[in-house]
Amino acid sequence: MKTLAVFSAVLSVLATAYASSDSKSTLPSTFKPPQVFKNLNLVHVISVEKNYVKENINVLIENIDKEAQDEYYLPFTGDQMSRVGGFEAKDRKDASVGHFKVEAVEFDPESDIQYYRVHLPSPLKPGDRQALGITYYVLKAYKPLPASIAQDEQQFLTYSFSAYAPSVYTTSKQKTEVKFPSSAIPDYTKLPGSGDVQEFPQKQGTKLTYGPFDEKPAGAAEPVEVRFEFTKPVSHVSELERDVEVSHWGGNVAFEERYTLYHRGANLSTLFNRVKWAQQQYYNPVSYALKEMKFPLRVGSADAYFTDVIGNVSTSKFRSNKREALLEIKPRYPLFGGWKYPFTIGWNSDAKHFLRKVSGSSYVLNVPFLEGPKQPEGVEYESVVLRVVLPEGAENVKYQTTIPTSSITEAKVEIHKTFLDTVGRTTLVIKARNLVDDFRDRELIVTYDYSLLASLRKPLIIFITMIGVFVAAWVVGGVELKFSKK
């Protein structure tokens, strides 16, 4: 059993001292999390059932310091850090506490080890214990093996991780469970067992269990790799631009989403064969190609459209009634590994579903942060740019969202100019990274003030222009072009 104590090694060779103290979460480059906790019992659940990895760390921690402590650190490598998102932590025993404050710690961008910091809601007294439930998602997690396959073959993916949960604290007892989409797991790293178990992992149906392991020091790692069947698309949205446009005059909220979609699975080993594809649809419709996406929209959605760079794509269905509003789209071509398909969808909805009047000239808007397709295999979003276009002249914009705050990279208010605008519309832009479709329907609430005078700006501008036309007509009409008789 080889144990890599990477943390002290990496941190001690940090030659480039880089420290700035402009942000609260910025720490000196020599930072090392204080050894104030001990993980008494840790269960690491890695779910590779979808095309992103969901990791769950359920841990019972104990304060072994002499003082009360409230900051728990979780380490990631620099590469992982760029792909980890949706980080949330909660109390396993008391759900009413809600999600804890979590932030990515900045201390040295060059360092190979980065941290997420969890703030416990109340400091843990020496000797006290707390059950933490930490959840996060890893994007771009898999590599297909073989890297290229025929169009009717099955796809296999590999995922590498550590059999010991990443931790900066000593862990007394732990095990790692890996959940797979099916029981077809042809290859996985085997480790020597301990106690009465001969060999790790133990396989039960669609689950592999590494452990339980005995006490491991801080930073212990044991790289393992699993290879499993995943004959489903590995859809990856590199960028989603989502626009929400509020219109008070029209009583409408317009949505538009522009996707840059990739398939990150195995490439085709031969050229795509359309005839074979058509045949395959009859005798074996299971394929790793992406051929359809379903968007369950909010009830009351209307006027849906689906376009790409060429124009309207006619292979879409939109069913809207009292119970549902389902948009089903078929891309122009089935999407295989390594292929890309950028497309746009949009729809309208009555403002009354999303917009309420608070008092006087104050309004509150509640829209889903992310809608997107609902696929059995999941969808991951590397970068999300949400723009909420409020009416022209809206001010005092405040927002709140239930998306994990550590996923939001930037939020600003800017001006967007479009039809009939003079000063431009107030636009709230929120950028987020590394989200997955589990965060579908997490809400975004925006409040703003919009006075009657601001709302009358558009007709007023047209009114002034028209008066100008009438005056000009009168002036021009009064010009005497004929020669005077006198």
Partner 1 sequence: MDSSLHEVWQAASGSPFLPTVGKGSQFFVGFLLLLIGLALGGLFTLNRSLVNVPVLGIPASLAVAFGVVYMFCAVGVYV
Rule CB under 8 A: which residues touch partner 1?
A: 245, 247-252, 254, 303, 348, 350-353, 355-358, 363-364, 366, 398-400, 405, 418-421, 443, 445-447, 458-460, 462-463, 466-467, 470-471, 473-474, 477-478
Q: Which two tokens stand for residue 320?
A: 């809207």
Q: How far is the CB of 33 from partner 1 (least distance, A)?
A: 27
Q: Smallest distance from the beta carbon of 94 to partner 1, in angstroms?
A: 19
Name the minimum Å distance from CB 352 to partner 1. 4
Cβ proximity of 92 and 56 under 8 Å: no
CB 307 to partner 1: min, Å? 15
- As a whole number of angstroms, the distance between CA 382 and CA 469 comes to 52
Structure tokens at 240: 């989603």
Q: Beta 325-329 vs 293-297: how paired, if at all?
A: antiparallel
Least CB distance to partner 1 at residue 95 (A)? 17
CB of 366 to partner 1, least distance (A): 5
Nearest CB to partner 1, comparing residues 340 and 356: 356
Q: How far apart are CA 151 and CA 147, in angstroms?
A: 13
Q: Which is nearer to partner 1, 122 or 160 (CB)?
A: 122
Q: Among 134, 138, 137, which Cα is nearest to 119's?
A: 134
Distance CA 35, CA 432 (A): 32
In this complex, which beta carbon is closest to partner 1, that of residue 147 or of residue 420? Answer: 420
Task: State which amino acid sits at residue 257.
Answer: E
Residue among 32 and 248 whose Cβ is closer to partner 1:
248
Least separation in angstroms between residue 285's CB and partner 1 is 38
Rank residues 26 and 252 by Cβ distance to partner 1 and give the closer one.
Answer: 252
Residue 3 or 418 having the CB closest to partner 1? 418
Nearest residue (CB) to partner 1, 28 versus 346: 346
**Would you say 280 or 320 has its CB closer to partner 1?**
320
Between 150 and 473, whose beta carbon lies closer to partner 1? 473
In the complex, what is the shortest distance from the CB of residue 437 to partner 1, in angstroms, rounded to a whole number? 23
| Tokens standing for residue 434 | 């590394």
Q: Answer for the pair 54, 137: CB distance below 8 angstroms, yes or no.
A: yes
Query: 3-class DSSP state for residue 478?
Result: helix
Burial bucket for residue 89 (CB in 10 Å: 0-12, 13-18, 19+): buried
Element (H, E) at 283: helix 274-283
- Is the Cα torsion angle 309, 312, 317, 318 positive or negative in sign? positive
Residue 353 beta carbon to partner 1: minimum distance, rounded to whole angstroms: 8
What is the pairing mode between strands 156-162 and 174-179?
Answer: unpaired
**Hey, what are 464's tokens?**
């002034």
The smaller minimum CB distance to partner 1, of residues 249 and 272, is found at 249
Q: Name the minimum Å distance from CB 351 to partner 1.
A: 5
Strands of the 101-105 sheet, one edge to the other: 69-77, 113-124, 101-105
The number of C-alpha atoms within 13 Å of 440 and in the hemisphere containing its C-beta is 14
Whichever of 474 and 483 has its CB closer to partner 1, that residue is: 474
Instruction: Give yes or no for a contact between 188 and 208, defined as CB atoms under 8 angstroms apart.
Output: yes
Residue 395 pairs with which residues in a beta bridge? 449
Terminal C-alpha separation, the chain: 117
Tell me the closest approach of the beta carbon of residue 289 to partner 1, in angstroms: 35
Residue indicated by tokens 């000196």: 28
Burial of 340 (0-12, 13-18, 19+ CB in 10 A): exposed
Tell me the closest approach of the beta carbon of residue 228 to partner 1, in angstroms: 40
Rounded distance, CA 149 to CA 153, Å? 6
Between 351 and 379, name the residue whose CB sits nearer to partner 1.
351
**37-47 and 170-171 beta bridge pairing:** parallel
Sign of the CA dihedral with 140 first, then 142, 148, and 150 last: negative
Burial of 156 (0-12, 13-18, 19+ CB in 10 A): buried
